[in-house]
Structure 1
Amino acid sequence: MPPDSGGVRQRDPALATRLLSAAILIPVSLFLLWNGGLPFTAYCAAFAAAMAWEWMRMADRDAPTRSYAIASAAASGAVLFAADGEFFWMLAWPLAGAAGVIFAGNLEIARRWRGAFGIVYVALAVSALASIRALNGFNAAVFILLIVWAADSAAYFAGTWLRGPKLWPSVSPNKTWTGLIAGLAGGSAAAWGFSQWQDLPVGGTILMGLILSLAAIGGDLAMSGFKRMFGVKDTGEIIPGHGGVLDRVDALMAACLMALGLSTLNVLQGPL
C-alpha cells in the first residue's frame, strides 16, 4: 500500500466507480436479504466461497489448487449449516477445512496458519450473518447492515475530506482519528434512527450501534493489517473501485461476529 502523497490523503479518484458498484450491489443484497430463505443463504455461501478463495490467494499465492478448493468448500459449507441452525457443524466444518489447508499448503509450517485462520474467520463471519437472518429475522440483519454502511461511509468521507491525524499509519496510512470519530457518530446516529423507526429502546439500540460501529472500524483496520502483512494492496479485483470481496466486506465481517455475540448473550435491549 503506497504512502500518502506529501503525508496528506488525496480525494479518492475512484469515488464515482465506488458509488456505481454500491448502487448495483446494495439493492441486490437488500432484495435477497428481504427474501431470506435459500436464495439469501446461497448468496451468502457464494460470497463466502469467493472470500475464502481471495484469502488463500492473499495469504499464500503459491498454494496448490486443492487448498483453494478446500477453503471455498469449508467457508460455503459453514454458511449452509449456520442457516439451518446446525451450530456444531458450522464450527466443525471450517475447522476441518483449516486443518486440510495446513496439511496441503506450500508455506513453511510456521506460516501455514495464514490460510487456516482466514478460512475460519471468513466462514464464521458470513455464517453469523446467515444465522442472524434465519433465526432473528430481517430487521436484525438490516440493522447490522445499516450500522456498518453508516459507520463505514461516515469514516470514509470524513477521513477523505476532513483528513486529520493518522489513526495507525504503520498499518493503514489513510485512516484517521477524524474518520474513527465520524464512523462511531454515523453508526450511532443510524442506530437512533432505527430505534425510532422500529419503536425500540433508544439507549440499548444506540449502545448496540456504537459497539457494532467500533467492531466494523476494527474489522476494516484488521484487514488493512493483514494486507500489509501479506504484502498486497487489494484482496482481489472483482468489484470495480473496491478491489476484492474482502475489501468490500471487511467491516461487515467483524460487525457480524460481534452481532452474533451480542445476540447470543442477550445483554442489551435492541434489534438483536
Structure 2
Amino acid sequence: MPLPGPAPTILAGLLAPLLATVPLTPARADAPAPAPVHGSAYMGMGVLAHDGQSGTPKSSDATQTEGVDVSGHQGDVAWPTLLGSGVKWAYTKATEGTSYKNPSFTQQYNGSHDAGMIRGAYHFATPDSSSGAAQANYFVDHGGGWSRDGRTLPGALDIEWNPYGAACYGKSKSAMVSWITDFLHTYKTRTGRNAVIYTATSWWTDCTGNYSGFAASNPLWIARYASEVGTLPAGWSYYTAWQYTSSGPTVGDHDKFNGTLDRVVALAKG
C-alpha cells in the first residue's frame, strides 16, 4: 500500500520558487556585444578598436597647444576647468550622416567659446548612407559653418573606421576618394574654407589607397594613441593637430595643435 503524500498541487506550489531561480537558457559567455546605435560614433572610436589604446607624448613641447574634442557622450562639459588646465581649443561633434545632430552641441560649442577657447565643429562621416555633398550640406546647416571672427576653426571631417559595419563602408579605394572629394568640395563652396581632415594613417592607407591629393589644401588632424605621431598619410609632410589620447583629464580625448596659440588663431581666421 503506497504511503500517503502531498497532493500534486501542493508539490507544484513547493517547487515553483525553486524552479524560478533556475535560468531556462544559460547565458553564453561568447555572446556578441550589442551593435552601436547610429549617431553614437565619436572621434577616435575606431582608433580605440583598431589602432591603440592610449598615448602620452614623449615630452612637453612648448610649440604645441593643448586641445580637446567632445561629442554627445560627454554631455555638459566643464569648460572653465579645462581652460584652467591649459586647454586652449576644442572641437565639438555637430553631426553624423544626414539625420543625427549632437544633442549637447549648443552647450559644448558655445560653452567652449564663452570660456575663452577657440572652437570648431566636426562631422562623423558615414559614406555608405548618403553622398559626400549631402553630408557636407547637413553639417553646415547644423552647426558646421564658419565665421571670420578669429575664434571659429574650419569644420573637420572625421573619416575613420566604420563603427556599424565594414571598415571602409563597403567602398572601393577610388570610390572613397570620390566621396571625400565630394564632401570637401561642397564644404568649401558653402563656407569658403577648406575642411580639416581627421583620420588615422592605417585607415587612410587601407581605405583610400594612401591617396595624397588632399594634402595641399586640407589640414591634417592625425589620430594615433602613442608617444609619437608616427608615419603620416601620403602627401602630408606635417600634421596640424594630433589626437594623442582618449584618456586625458576632465575630457578623455586630448589633442596637440602643432604650433603656438597664435597659429591656432591664424587657422581660425583663415
- Aligning the two structures, in what range does the TM-score lie when normalised by the shorter sequence? under 0.3
TM-score (norm 2): 0.27
| Larger fraction in strand | 2
| Larger fraction in helix | 1
TM-score (norm 1): 0.27
Bigger radius of gyration: 2
